Amino acid sequence: MNQTTKQGLKKSPAKTRGAAMRAQKRNHDDADRAMERYADASQHQSRRTTDAADFTNALKVTFLGGLDDVGEKNMAIIEYGDEAIVLDCGNSLGIDLPGINYTVNDISYLEAIKYKLRAYVITHGHLDHIGGLRHTVPRYPAPIYGSPYTIKLVEKAFDDLLTDTGQEYTPVVMTAQLDTHETFTLSNSFSVEFLRITHSLPDAAAVCISTPVGRIIATGDFRLDPEPLDKMPSDTKRLKELGNQGVLLLLSDSSYADVEGRVPTESTLQQSFYDIIGNAPGRIFVAAFSSNMNRAQMIINAAVAAGREVALDGRGMMSYAEIAVRQGILKIPKGTVVSIQQAASITPNQLLVMCTGGQGEPNAALQRMSDGQHKYVNLNEGDTVVISSSPIPGNEVTYDQLSNRLKKIGVHLFRHPTHEVDGCGPLHVSGHARRGELREMLELVRPTFFIPVHAGALRRSYHAELGVEQGIPRRNVILPDNGDSVYITPDTVVDGGQVPHGSVLVDQNGGIVSGIVVKDRLMLSGEGILAVVLTMDKESGRLLTSPDIISRGFIAMKDNEDLMKHFRDELRRAAAQRYKRISLDEFKAEIREYVIHFMYEKTGRSPIVIPVVNVIGKASTNTAAAHKALRSDQHVKNDQQRYAAMRARLLTQDQRD
């Protein structure tokens, strides 16, 4: 049986140098695998079609993003001849990489076709459809077309660009009214009509793009709610008319293609909020998606009926609500809304706080309130918390972690997934169509060709089979991957190969971060870092000072003094044996390999090892000119003092024994 010492270090049988190096390689490989899905265009090989057909009169549709996951940086490019338009331009949130806020599409392909670009057509204002615009449009400018609410959100994104990064850019925008069937001419080859569609934020649109080859209908994110709270249902009549006239290609949301039935109408939720808010004692906190203004309207209606004032919190919620109020979408009686700064001074049974963070997002308002870290108001035992959402796929763990934390505080908790157990009515409906509505969309449009989009390979494959069931020939149902292009004529669809594509990583400040940097962060988070600083005398090859050892995320040196003493002794011996017989670069490489093997043998762990070698002394050379350049003893002494000062500064910043 192995004996365990401090910090979990084990006395184990000797490990070979090969095992140590294999452990290092495993660390690199693990980081590479974690980064694969976020690779940029330089790491994806383009693939050209081998078909020699003439595609001059074909429509080319290319997907840079939006096919791999739910909420994944939607972006497609539609080309005909020397003209092109971009359909949506989003980012991806929920990226589990250290120091990364979101990703956007690598737009290297746009560089190759920038002379063609005529317009950006945006279906709605969620970030996975507009979040990439501020990174793309300044480099490749063209007018942005969208509904009134969507365009205001786009303009707000560019205002934030100035605030976040100091970069000022004013895009050209064109606003489309959804109920007039107005058609915009984008170029000689393209025109677009926006159609009202129901989703989870105002003014969502399906778009009908007319081309010389035929019509394309892109649903955007949608559900077919016959009774939305705003009384603005999807324009199924116009969709059917377009289907009767003939639709070449349908691009349709697949997010819930694996769920039978239809999404319940959102109007069914209003009574649930009346019941909870009208009867709960003390303070009430309601977490909802910041963009869902119909949901916000229901919560405000119930708060007003219960005689409560409403404080809004969360940057996104404030932005969406402000625009919705200005456009008359969100209706709030005068005197209802107070600032979050005033919340602490309001009588508990007269206060409702509507905030973000229902998915357990780090640093969101509800998360900070539950941690006691909010600047103005924190949760207490006896408060009522309503989470008006289900976990987005991928957020299940953080959703439950938040719920557990809330129950430990002692709040009265109501959540949609457990609403029956919690003793209330439903608290959430999805903004994405289920299979019943997807069938209806296919029946309305009756396209020649069908490409399921959004939500990943599994759900798109379910949607594809649904298309076949609805009578579309299997050969006309296409399942491309991100980066793929297809050429479409009125009668055929041909593989168009693959274009440069991938992800660009963006940090909290809006700056671009290299994948190499993030890979290093992942490796550091796995086994930590060990820096070894050796100060060598050039002439004698002796160490001038004791080796400095700096550990971060590897072992606690003060708890492993015997190991550190042994390690220093071995470093002295290794340095003395190697320094005079090889070049400096070779010396560093051998020291690194030696340290990797030593630490793996002693600890079973393989950190990143960084050897730093400071060389002090006269340079040896046989040439007369070089002899004249030799430094005096005083210069050598100055060098020693300078390196000593550098060493002192380093050790005051880093851990040492």
DSSP state of 624: H
Of 308, 608, 258, whose CA–CA distance to 460 is shortest?
A: 258
Burial track 583-606 (b if 16+ CB lie within 10 A, e otherwise) = eeeebbebbbbbbbbbbbbbbbbb
Give the span between the Cα atoms of 153 and 122, in whole angstroms: 11
Q: What is the DSSP letter of 630?
A: P
Are residues 173 and 143 in contact, defined by beta-carbon separation less than 8 angstroms?
yes
Q: How far apart are CA 257 and CA 260, in angstroms?
A: 8
Which two three-digit tokens encode residue 511? 């700056």
Instruction: Tell me how far apart the alpha carbons of residues 148 and 170 are, in angstroms, rounded to a whole number.
Output: 17
Give the length of the chain.
657
> Quick one: residue 455, left, alpha or beta (phi over 0 = left, psi -120 to 50 = alpha)?
left
Q: Residue 646's Cα: distance from chain center in Å?
A: 40
Distances (CA, A) of 430 to 271, 371, 434, 535, 611: 17, 28, 9, 63, 54
- What number of other Cβ atoms are within 10 A of residue 313's Cβ? 25
CA max distance for the chain: 96
- The residues assigned a catalytic role are 253, 432
In contact, 587 and 613? CB cutoff 8 Å: yes
H/E element, 246: none
For 334-401, give the secondary structure using H, E and C. CCCEECHHHHHHCCHHHEEEEECCCCCCCCCHHHHHHHCCCCCCCCCCCCEEEECCCCCCCCHHHHHH
Distance CA 82, CA 190 (A): 11
On whether the CB atoms of residues 287 and 388 are closer than 8 A, the answer is yes
- Strands in 512-513's sheet, in edge-to-edge order, are 91-92, 102-105, 503-506, 512-513
Three-state DSSP at 59 gives strand
* DSSP character string of 63-90: EEESSSSTTB--EEEEEETTEEEEE---
Which ranges in 383-493 belong to alpha helices (H)? 396-409, 419-422, 435-445, 456-469
- The two beta strands, 249-253 and 215-218, are parallel
CB 218 within 8 A of CB 450: no
The C-alpha atoms of residue 126 and residue 129 are separated, in whole angstroms, by: 6
Q: Determine whether 174 is exposed, middle or buried from the number of CB atoms within 10 Å of its CB (0-12, 13-18, 19+).
A: middle
